Structure 1
Amino acid sequence: MRVLESVTEPLIEINQIAYKYQGQDDRKALDDVSLKVFPNEWVALIGHNGSGKSTLAKTINGLILPDEGTITIKGKPLKEETIWDVRRTIGMVFQNPDNQFVGSTVEDDVAFGLENQGIPREDMLQRVSQALEQVRMSEFSTKEPARLSGGQKQRVAIAGVIALRPDVIILDEATSMLDPQGRREVIETIEKIKEEENLTVISITHDIDEAANASRVLVMKQGTIIKEGTPEAIFSEGDKLIEWGLDVPFPEKLKSALAKKGVTVPEGYLTEEGLVDWLWTSSLKK
């Protein structure tokens, strides 16, 4: 679902923010970044390591405050006095789920954030059960998190966030340490919950395939946003993706290889599913 700016107020509005880490040279980690995120969007921020993606995510969640510019969440300016209100609106899932676990069992871990918010026990138990069911981890509720696979751990981390019922989930390189199966499990889980709960998703990633799930993709380089568009528009840039420090999606690589062999290929971007359909249809015509 893509939301039109003309009919919807932004959930998150970032206006000309800048940030520089102490002890660094004159280069800013974020430099004049402006961005609007609308309800029920999936926005992917992609770029090479050090491009500013994770720093931007931390400013949105109030983990760091920008040196310049403003951030507004649900119409409320982000500052020291409002950080805890903002964190009730925005949940964050990090790269390494082991760093987020605090409970001795899966259900204890999911309940941890609710306990900190003083949620009544009956309500808390219901939320924990519902969250684990949503990520398909109910049968592991009494297991130790350390005994889970990487994909299962990350799904539990997601359950801990959605139990808090935020409006926004930020995935900060949340699939980068997973194998392909674990990555698919996490993305499918997020897609399902997004539609069920009308969540807004911000995905910080260098994984082109993960970014393909977004409704809008922003490319970051040296602390600035240098390109914005649909996945189809961004991934059709071909060699420019390599210049930006990114990989070319597999369908584009295959199209390029076929074109070099004289095969006429579609001009627009194709997903892997779209590529299979095109190859199948083309073979039937021969």
Structure 2
Amino acid sequence: MKPIIKLENVSYTYQQDGGRPALKNVSLDVYPGEWLAIIGHNGSGKSTLAKTINGLLVPQEGSVEVAGLSMNEENVWEIRRKIGMVFQNPDNQFVGATVEDDVAFGLENQGVPRDEMLKIVKDSLEQVRMWEFFDKEPVRLSGGQKQRVAIAGVVALSPDVIILDEATSMLDPKGRLEVISTIQKLREEKKLTVISITHDIDEAANATRVLVIRQGEVYRDGLPQEIFSSGEELVDMGLDLPFPEKLKLEMARQGLQVPEEYMSEERMIDWLWTSSLKK
């Protein structure tokens, strides 16, 4: 399978950082349909990487390719049609007086005929379970509902890739769960490629692949179970662990026998249940 996104030896340095690279020789392939979570401490280069993929930043060295198109002035607008971004604060993305108007905004800019546009807006809002709020003001929605509307606005434009740039970091646990479950559903139904830049390790644990960025470089790249089984190593880097792994570490510190392999939340519940039955 050919990658939908390909980075080769990408480097970028902000002038105000005194010469320290935000990205240093980053090479990365992202494949159609996968969910790649990118994690790292503050200032590690995660958001810079996302902006490079979307053409918001031009790498000073290396190359970026999206869907077979090289990132350059000639192709950047076509590439941006293929990539939708959902940002940390949904209020910064809202431009319409109502939910329906907001989702329609991008379609209007593309000159989509009105009858077709109304159908796409309705379909997009139904996909994120927000059609019943079509005539509401976005500012009056909860945090999770706002992000679902922001996602609907992106989905309406039919991108091949959705980038979530800390999209769940301002949400409470309920809102975070709403957004993650919405993205999971859309990815499966529309065969979307998802890239999530996140501090939420439990969100990253839902991905099909995890990339750890450290000081602008790719530090680790693998399946969630490969990355999060590192345990104390990630904690030493200032990163968190998924709740089941944190629970497992604490149980081990208390002298309890715990499985060595990576534990998802579902597997942890099963193991706790079967362990209690043996007693």
Whole-angstrom CA distance in 2 between matches of 1:139 and 1:27? 49
Deviation at residue 141 of structure 1 after TM alignment: 0.2
Of 185, 188, 196, the residue aligned with 2:181 is 188
Which letter does structure 1 place at the counterpart of 2:170?
M
- Deviation track 1:185-233 (CA, whole Å, cap 9, x = no partner) reads 0000000011110000001001110001111100001111100111011
Of 226, 244, 253, the residue aligned with 2:246 is 253
Deviation at residue 269 of structure 1 after TM alignment: 0.8
Deviation at residue 26 of structure 1 after TM alignment: 1.1
Q: Which residue pairs with 1:109 in the alignment?
A: 102
Deviation at residue 123 of structure 1 after TM alignment: 1.2
Higher mean Cα deviation, 245-254 or 224-233?
A: 245-254
- Deviation track 1:140-172 (CA, whole Å, cap 9, x = no partner) reads 000000000000000000000000000000000
Q: Which residue pairs with 1:209 in the alignment?
A: 202
Q: Does 1:157 align with 2:157?
A: no
Any stretches of 5+ residues in structure 2 without a counterpart?
none
Give the secondary structure class of the aligned counterpart of 1:49. Answer: coil
- Greater than 2 Å deviation, 4+ residue runs: none
Whole-angstrom CA distance in 2 between matches of 1:58 and 1:132? 26
Whole-angstrom CA distance in 1 between matches of 2:89 and 2:102? 15
Of 24, 31, 42, the residue aligned with 1:38 is 31
Which letter does structure 2 place at the counterpart of 1:136?
R
Instruction: List aligned pairs for 1:126-165, cutoff 5 A.
Output: 126-165=119-158
Of 51, 60, 75, the residue aligned with 1:58 is 51
Give the secondary structure class of the aligned counterpart of 2:15. Answer: coil
Whole-angstrom CA distance in 1 between matches of 2:250 and 2:145? 36
Equivalent residues, number: 279
Instruction: List aligned pairs for 1:167-246, cutoff 5 A.
Output: 167-246=160-239
Give the secondary structure class of the aligned counterpart of 2:164. Answer: strand
- Deviation track 1:112-164 (CA, whole Å, cap 9, x = no partner) reads 01111111111111110000000000000000000000000000000000000
Q: In percent, how many aligned pairs have the same letter?
A: 67
Any stretches of 5+ residues in structure 1 without a counterpart?
1-7
Of 116, 120, 124, the residue aligned with 1:123 is 116
CA-based RMSD of the aligned residues comes to: 0.8
Whole-angstrom CA distance in 1 between matches of 2:26 and 2:12? 10
Whole-angstrom CA distance in 2 between matches of 1:170 and 1:244? 24
Give the secondary structure class of the aligned counterpart of 1:203. Answer: strand
Whole-angstrom CA distance in 1 between matches of 2:235 and 2:165? 22
Which letter does structure 2 place at the counterpart of 1:81?
E
Kept in 1, the 8 Å contact 2:205–2:242? The answer is: no
Instruction: List aligned pairs for 1:255-274, cutoff 5 A.
Output: 255-274=248-267
Deviation at residue 257 of structure 1 after TM alignment: 2.0
Give the secondary structure class of the aligned counterpart of 2:124. Answer: helix
Deviation at residue 249 of structure 1 after TM alignment: 2.1
Of 272, 275, 278, the residue aligned with 1:279 is 272
Give the secondary structure class of the aligned counterpart of 1:23. Answer: helix
Give the secondary structure class of the aligned counterpart of 1:81. Answer: coil
Of 82, 85, 109, the residue aligned with 1:92 is 85
Deviation at residue 255 of structure 1 after TM alignment: 1.3
Q: Does 1:166 align with 2:159?
A: yes
Which letter does structure 1 place at the counterpart of 2:30?
V
TM-score (norm 2): 0.98
Give the secondary structure class of the aligned counterpart of 1:201. Answer: strand
Which letter does structure 2 place at the counterpart of 1:137?
M
Give the secondary structure class of the aligned counterpart of 2:257. Answer: coil
Which letter does structure 2 place at the counterpart of 1:282?
S
